Amino acid sequence: MNGKREQRKPEKRPAKQREAGRQREAGRQTESAAQAGSCGRQTPVRVLQVLGGTGLGGAESRVMDSYRHLDRSRIQFDFCVHTREEGFFDREIESLGGRIYRIPRFRAVNWLEYRRAWKDFFRAHPGYRAVHGHMTSTASIYLPIAKASGVPLTIAHARSAGVDPGLKGMLTRFLRRNLGEKADVCLTCSRLAGEAVFGKKMEDAGRVTTVPNAIDASAFSFSARTRAQKREELGIGEQDFVVGHVGRFGHMKNHSFLLDVFAQIRKELPASRLLLVGEGGLMGSVREKAASLGLSDRVIFAGNQAQVADYYMAMDFFVFPSVFEGLPGSVIEAQAAGLRCLVSDSVTDEVLITPLAEAMPLSRGAGCWARRVLERRDYERKQTAQAIKDAGFDVSDQVKFLERLYLGEEN
């Protein structure tokens, strides 16, 4: 379809070709300047992170963890997002030296407009060392455009092992076909996510590199003092048993099932509370269901929180009944905070890092989930951050890999 558009305006093609040449030359000049520096000072190379937004989601949080810990004298991040709304991390990104750009959201009917927006973007902003695409639903569109615009390194990063239901999910699968052939490097947070996005053949052939969703493990070390302070702030009684969850209110997180589990727990243990951290499109319907179950006064909707570690301290048990995931960082964070976790077996077992976490099929039903939580509710919170680090889920190790990758030092 794009070829037909160019045939209607052949007089513009030479100018575009000359402009593309200037972009590639500008990119080479920028990269050379980054290596040579100016007056003895090194100019950092810039890497473009492509996301849906900069809200407090899993992928966004993991990218920000890396951004905070990398050597920003050598590498700087910019962000291109698919929303006009200000995101949770916008101000922090700008304070760290990053720039935020906005691209129209892809809606299938605006295919040509979406492609044109990306071409215009790279024409206006040449010189990126790499484009790191976390939004794989349209990476097959923007990564080839980045490559054609002179970007040396394009990366597709699988973050989820499933898709949304209905037509949207079907379109995502269609757009992801052959994505592995359209990126220089394929990364995934787990084997399940890699197979879902790039295909089993690519995984089996070793063409997909697993980069765990690492966290700053020490930031989640259990603190009895913080626990007491946060519970008092939230109006939680000293003897209350708190079931917790951290995640966006969307289809994949399965909050409806979580409410059913909690309703069963409360029948056996009236002094119990449900603490939900996060926001999202289905938050309203979850509130309505909580009310219909007579649980409104027992459920705390905490919203998005910058200091999420404090909320893990306030919990007693972490329940995560997702329908699908990539490799959820929140389950790793919960284990780092010393919490016992009950996780859906739809989630990759790579997330079961410590004996604190176990998996259960959703098919067992809410009653069975509730009984398992009650059976395992008595335990002593311990320091487990080191176990998370030893398992390779600490952000400091991941950042070293990413720095080598972005700078062309990774074989």
Specify the number of domains making up the chain: 2
In 134-239 the beta strands, taken as DSSP E runs, fall at 153-158, 185-188, 209-210
Residue with tokens 């760290």: 96
The answer to whether 12 touches 116, Cβ cutoff 8 Å, is no
User: 245 and 369 share a domain?
Assistant: yes
Position 167 scores a pLDDT of 67
Tell me if 203 is assigned to some domain. yes
Long-range contacts of 12-21, Cβ-Cβ distance < 8 Å, separation of 24 or more: 19/123, 20/123, 20/148, 20/149, 20/150
Tell me if 411 is assigned to some domain. no
User: 169 and 27 share a domain?
Assistant: yes
- For the chain, the average pLDDT equals 88
Position 41 scores a pLDDT of 58
Position 29 scores a pLDDT of 43
Sign of CA dihedral 148, 124, 137, 185: positive
User: 174 and 83 share a domain?
Assistant: yes
User: 167 and 316 share a domain?
Assistant: no
Expressed as residue numbers, the domain containing 150 is 2-214+394-406
Cβ within 8 Å of residue 86, ≥6 positions away: none
User: 151 and 163 share a domain?
Assistant: yes
Distance CA 252, CA 278 (A): 14
pLDDT by residue for the chain (411 residues), tens digit each?
Answer: 443 333 333 334 344 344 344 444 444 444 444 444 444 557 999 999 999 999 888 889 999 999 999 999 999 999 999 999 999 999 999 999 999 999 999 987 898 999 999 999 999 999 999 999 998 889 999 999 999 999 999 999 998 766 566 666 666 677 677 888 899 999 998 888 888 889 888 888 889 999 988 889 999 999 999 999 999 999 999 999 999 999 999 999 999 999 999 999 999 999 999 999 999 999 999 999 999 999 999 999 999 998 999 999 999 999 999 998 878 899 999 999 999 999 999 998 989 999 999 999 999 999 999 999 999 999 999 999 889 999 989 898 889 999 999 999 876
Whole-model pTM?
Answer: 0.77
Tell me if 287 is assigned to some domain. yes
